A and B are shown apart, each in its own frame.
Chain A
């Protein structure tokens, strides 16, 4: 018996010895779109380990964006090592205020590293930069696009290759696309814009199209009550209340994709992150277009960035940098974009052979990239949870008819003012 124990102990020591020489890299990441993405991420980790034998990567799936942030921060507080995490791009101010992250500039010091920091689309860096330093490396990034059902367009007598270019066209086309049964009940709506989960995000698109951004670049002022912002919410509400081309009340983010693929709505606004899932489930030809314009086109960016935590050893920082650089290289960025529908984060990824071939056969994949020139950063301020929720509540109150858009947005602006004053 003793001998067996001794043998086991020896074995354990042998097993433990190389593990000590390795740098372990645990990172949390969220998933907010459909598809078997944990497998994809695990696959990347294994591939990276093969090429970098000194580093062991443990990807930990951590639910949605809120869950991931909570888990990462809880792990930090509990003293566990999670040197790296994919968290919401808009958590940046919160993470800075809690003093838990470091800027990538402090780690990426070589000339090559600096070039790497500059390789991403500027639109995607806006949510990751604070006072000139890069804190968030774009990874699973998305933007809102318009999906349309070409069969429904054809059946309604519309040109199936021509999506609406502006708000007026969208309203008129949607009116033609509404389908009713004999009893007068709607069987297919014209357009749906989701208003649970991330209502502020959809609203940013409306506001931007109407010429307004909802916050300033320092994250300490909001612009919820501008007349054009109120006008944007008026338009959103009117789609349901006045034009009857969208269901009244709020529309569930999570089930909207099914509503579209089941043909219950002819158009939807949704994240590009759902593109691959729609492609595999839709039984009809569908198109993807930039969102329609009012005064201009516009869509916020969204999604998750890589953050580097402060409580890390130099070895961990080095390993984290190596891994993130590897994961965001053009080839991988292209691969990730094809697996998910998320945008490839850098221009040279779209120059890779596989993404070029993919875009040729499936042109929907590059719409998000083309829309970047009209992009605006996702709503993010200090006290971001509360400031955002004030807007979410206002939007939902207006959509459900409990408040007028003007009253709802003015109340939200007053609340945001109160919260942000100490940060000026």
Chain B
């Protein structure tokens, strides 16, 4: 009887989870073994053909590489900036609430709005960046979004700007839960601020760092909204990311089964990353 009661309690959550997560994932996997059907040529089983096509698709490898650099460029930077900001606004300083709010503002904005703002920051000549550069340094105009070497870093800066404030909130909460005696003890012992941060604060923040790391990693694969506004993945796929490519394949090329194949790759990648993060890093996380 107790079992029945337990299962009943679980049912609503289970239905949602199965309906919107597990079933689509399984269906995606299944779809990836079929060819895309049209009215003229119905869908048929093709085994691993889609995966073979994927291995030979240069755009896939390019967007995967882009995603790697994108993750590497945004995650550590956003985390570092978030910690610095959190420590800064955790101190007593004038207008503390205002500063905190200012740091948090980018998080509240929708990504599409952010991208529209930054599109004008980055616009050559008439954009904010070029105008400032010309005013302060007499710098020549840069084609930020039109140069394959600059475009990915340019989008990374924007994403860091957007994300860091969000992570700051978590660090701020964690910092406020640290017992003040630790800092007093460190002061009595004569430890420098840097030493205290390195040996006490940072290790104690590890659980938060793990949480933020997982979120940041997922976001680096999930956040593609800006591409619709800024670059459409261009020039020549230089700023395209895996999820944006999936969108193009599914809705611009109408190749739904190849899109499913790409999605399976994304799922496997994210699952692997999650496992690595939880198994390896968790061992080094200090819990109080």
Listed in ascending order, the chain A residues whose CB lies under 8 Å from chain B are 66, 69-70, 94, 97-99, 183-187, 195-197, 247-252, 254-255, 258-259, 262, 264, 383, 385-386, 389, 392-394, 396-397, 399-400, 402
Contacts and interface: CB of A to CB of B under 8 A. Distances in A.
B112 to A, nearest CB: 11
Task: Count chain B CB atoms within 10 A of each CB in A99, A185, A248 and give the residue with the most.
Answer: A185
Contacts of B125: 187, 259, 262, 264
Contacts of B148: 249, 400, 402
A225 B135 CA distance: 45
Nearest to A100: B39
B236 A400 contact: yes
A336 to B, nearest CB: 27
B123 A258 contact: yes
Question: Closest 7 CB pairs between A and B?
Answer: A249-B146, A99-B39, A396-B235, A250-B146, A385-B253, A249-B143, A396-B236
A252 B127 CA distance: 12
A196 to B, nearest CB: 6
B24 to A, nearest CB: 15
A417 to B, nearest CB: 16
Contacts of A99: 38-39
A259 B39 contact: no
Nearest to A254: B119
B102 interface: no
A98 B145 contact: no
Nearest to B38: A97
B134 A185 contact: yes
B123 A66 contact: no
Given A183-B138, A264-B125, A386 B253 contact: yes
Contacts of A254: 119, 229
A346 B49 CA distance: 49
A250 B126 CA distance: 16
B126 A98 contact: no
Task: Count chain B CB atoms within 10 A of each CB in A250, A386, A394 and give the residue with the most.
Answer: A250
Given A196-B231, A258-B126, A252 B146 contact: yes
A397 B253 contact: no
A254 B59 CA distance: 25
B201 interface: no
B141 A383 contact: no
Contacts of B119: 252, 254-255
Task: Count chain A CB atoms within 10 A of each CB in B126, B147, B232, B234 and give the residue with the most.
Answer: B234
Given A70-B251, A249-B146, A196 B141 contact: no
Contacts of B146: 195-196, 247-252, 400
30 contacts: A94-B254, A97-B38, A98-B38, A98-B39, A98-B254, A186-B140, A186-B141, A195-B235, A196-B232, A247-B143, A248-B143, A248-B147, A249-B143, A249-B235, A255-B119, A255-B120, A255-B126, A258-B126, A259-B124, A259-B126, A386-B255, A389-B252, A392-B234, A393-B237, A394-B236, A396-B234, A397-B235, A397-B236, A400-B148, A402-B148
B224 to A, nearest CB: 14
Interface residues of B, number: 35
Contacts of B232: 196-197
Contacts, number: 104
A399 B141 CA distance: 17
Contacts of A255: 119-120, 123, 126-127
Given A98-B38, A264-B126, A400-B236, 6 more contacts: A185-B138, A196-B234, A251-B143, A252-B146, A393-B237, A399-B235
A250 B141 contact: no
B27 to A, nearest CB: 15
B280 interface: no
Contacts of A386: 253, 255
B203 to A, nearest CB: 46
Given A248-B143, A251-B146, A402 B253 contact: no
Contacts of B55: none
Contacts of A197: 232
Given A250-B145, A254-B119, A258-B126, A66 B234 contact: no
A187 B141 CA distance: 9
A385 B258 CA distance: 14
Nearest to A248: B143
A250 B143 contact: yes
A252 B123 contact: yes
Interface in B110-160: 119-120, 123-127, 134, 138-141, 143, 145-148
A40 B145 CA distance: 33
Nearest to B133: A185
B143 A385 contact: no
A392 B253 CA distance: 14
Contacts of B124: 247, 259, 264
Contacts of A397: 235-236
Nearest to A97: B38
A402 B254 contact: no
B141 A185 contact: yes
B225 to A, nearest CB: 13
Interface string B168-200: 000000000000000000000000000000000
Interface string B227-270: 00101101111100000000010011111000000000000000
B147 A66 contact: no
